[in-house]
């Protein structure tokens, strides 16, 4: 006949140090536009400004 296994008593989880955060977790956060998207936005804005100035003349 098999014997029952003796398990260690359950303990509450350890408190983690909030200062010592993994470097991979620190790089998260709000996503921003890529450099290519910013250049494209500037190019579109310039074209729009040129069109508006030509229409005003």
Rounded CA-CA distance 46/48 in Å is 5
Q: Is residue 1 pLDDT above 70, yes or no?
A: no
Residue of 54 and 26 predicted with greater confidence: 54
Report pTM: 0.46
**SS3 for 47?**
helix
Residue of 46 and 5 predicted with greater confidence: 46
Distance set, CA 4 to CA 1, 7, 45 (Å): 10, 9, 74
The pLDDT of residue 45? 97
The pLDDT of residue 38? 97
pLDDT tens-place string over residues 16-50: 887 777 777 777 778 889 999 999 999 999 999 99
């Amino acid at each position: 006949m098999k014997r029952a296994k003796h398990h260690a008593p359950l303990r509450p989880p350890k408190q983690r140090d909030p200062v010592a955060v993994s470097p991979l977790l620190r790089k998260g956060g709000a996503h921003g536009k890529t450099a290519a998207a910013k250049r494209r936005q500037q190019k579109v804005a310039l074209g729009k400004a040129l069109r508006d100035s030509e229409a005003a003349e």
